[in-house]
């Protein structure tokens, strides 16, 4: 989950925490369309094939592309309630050199049977095969980073490089000691602010969208299932198999996937490099956009991106 000055994403077992950390709600178009500016294409992609048992769920991902038409694609994967516009500020700084592909999936709308990290990984794999058609650099925040990790482990032929920011899959710390089933907006805002080094970066519209999502039973249930699935899926014994070059970009003040998660990933993944974003919490693409962009460009250059 990457977000401009108000984005959020994480993967915890509490619906409130997941909402707070993941940002705006799909379907809210109010501060969501500026990301189209400068896109070379904006298309949709069906989550299910006609022969899928879930074909009746006519769900589609939004796919935006920016930058050159040649070169290794750089695919951005958001968190549980992420949107494509959460990558907007970062993409604006790198699209002059990188072929950027933003994949926005309606994760809170997927059928109950697919509310798992495994199912979302399978859907993402099909997207890479059908729409990308070759290896890509995967950039994932939080839940999106977890999906990218699984693909690098299980489908290495699809991953040219791996960039993780506040990724789950190893260490996560719960921020909610008591869960309010029907939280007030004030309480929810306080939980969202904990994800940032500077709480003034939290935007009112993001709190409103999180509050709206929490009041929707289907969305709340999906978040709980997806987040619990991610927390159960600890990859400590598997990440050593990752062959792709890996860049870890981490906020030094991240309290959800704390600094020890970043250092553990760096020690366990064979070809990994760790870059810190100072004065930054769980969303380095929001609070450390310049650092993130510079590190991403440097990382992608030898990969043909």
Q: For residue 167, is it within any domain?
A: yes
**Cα separation, 76 vs 217, whole angstroms:** 28
Q: Is a pLDDT exceeding 70 seen at residue 139?
A: yes
Domain, as residue range, for 184 = 15-303
Mean pLDDT over residues 149-175, rounded?
A: 91
Q: For residue 213, is it within any domain?
A: yes
Q: What pLDDT does 170 receive?
A: 93
Q: What pLDDT does 2 receive?
A: 32
Mean pLDDT over residues 46-55, rounded?
A: 93
**Cα separation, 89 vs 289, whole angstroms:** 7
The region of weakest confidence among 21-30, 117-126, 242-251 is: 21-30
Task: Please report, rounded to a whole number, the percentage of residues in the chain having pLDDT higher than 90.
Answer: 61
Q: Is a pLDDT exceeding 70 seen at residue 214?
A: no
Mean pLDDT over residues 251-273, rounded?
A: 96
**Cα separation, 131 vs 59, whole angstroms:** 16
**Cα separation, 148 vs 137, whole angstroms:** 9
Q: For residue 9, is it within any domain?
A: no
SS3 291: helix
Q: For residue 27, is it within any domain?
A: yes
CATH number, domain at 246? 3.40.50.1820
Whose tokens are 């309010």? That residue is 180
Residues 297/289, Cβ–Cβ less than 8 Å: no
Residues 166/248, Cβ–Cβ less than 8 Å: no
**Cα separation, 149 vs 107, whole angstroms:** 18
**Cα separation, 104 vs 102, whole angstroms:** 6
**Cα separation, 174 vs 18, whole angstroms:** 10
Closest CA to 55 of 105, 130, 102, 114: 114
- H or E element at residue 165: strand 159-165
Q: Is a pLDDT exceeding 90 seen at residue 34?
A: no
Q: For residue 293, is it within any domain?
A: yes
Mean pLDDT over residues 282-303, rounded?
A: 95
Q: For residue 3, is it within any domain?
A: no
Mean pLDDT over residues 136-155, rounded?
A: 97
Q: For residue 233, is it within any domain?
A: yes
Q: Is a pLDDT exceeding 60 seen at residue 17?
A: no
How many distinct structural domains can be found in the chain? Answer: 1
Residue 279 token pair: 């004065």
Residue 210 token pair: 């999180």
Q: For residue 10, is it within any domain?
A: no
């Amino acid at each position: 989950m990457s977000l401009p000055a108000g984005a959020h994403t994480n993967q915890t077992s509490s619906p409130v925490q997941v909402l707070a950390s993941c940002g705006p709600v799909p379907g809210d178009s109010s501060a969501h369309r500026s990301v189209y500016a400068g896109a070379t294409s904006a298309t949709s992609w069906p989550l299910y094939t006609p022969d899928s048992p879930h074909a009746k769920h006519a769900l589609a991902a939004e796919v935006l592309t920016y930058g050159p038409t040649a070169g290794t694609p750089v695919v951005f994967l958001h968190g549980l309630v992420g949107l494509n516009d959460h990558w907007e500020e970062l993409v604006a700084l790198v699209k002059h050199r990188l072929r950027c592909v933003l994949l926005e999936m309606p994760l809170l709308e997927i059928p109950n049977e697919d509310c798992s990290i495994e199912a979302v990984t399978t859907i993402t794999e099909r997207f890479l095969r059908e729409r990308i058609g070759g290896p890509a650099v995967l950039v994932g925040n939080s839940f999106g980073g977890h999906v990218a990790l699984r693909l690098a482990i299980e489908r290495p032929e699809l991953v040219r490089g791996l960039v993780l920011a506040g990724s789950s899959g190893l260490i996560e710390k719960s921020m909610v000691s008591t869960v309010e089933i029907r939280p007030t907006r004030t309480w929810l805002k306080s939980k969202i602010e904990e994800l940032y080094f500077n709480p003034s970066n939290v935007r009112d519209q993001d709190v409103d969208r999180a509050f709206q999502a929490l009041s929707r039973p289907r969305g709340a249930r999906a978040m709980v299932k997806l987040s619990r699935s991610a927390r159960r899926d600890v990859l400590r014994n598997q990440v050593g198999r990752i062959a792709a070059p890996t860049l870890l970009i981490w906020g030094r003040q991240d309290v959800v996937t704390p600094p020890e998660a970043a250092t553990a990933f760096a020690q366990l993944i064979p070809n990994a490099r760790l870059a810190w974003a100072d004065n930054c919490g769980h969303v380095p693409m929001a609070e450390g956009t310049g650092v993130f962009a510079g590190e991403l460009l440097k990382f992608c250059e030898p990969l043909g991106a």
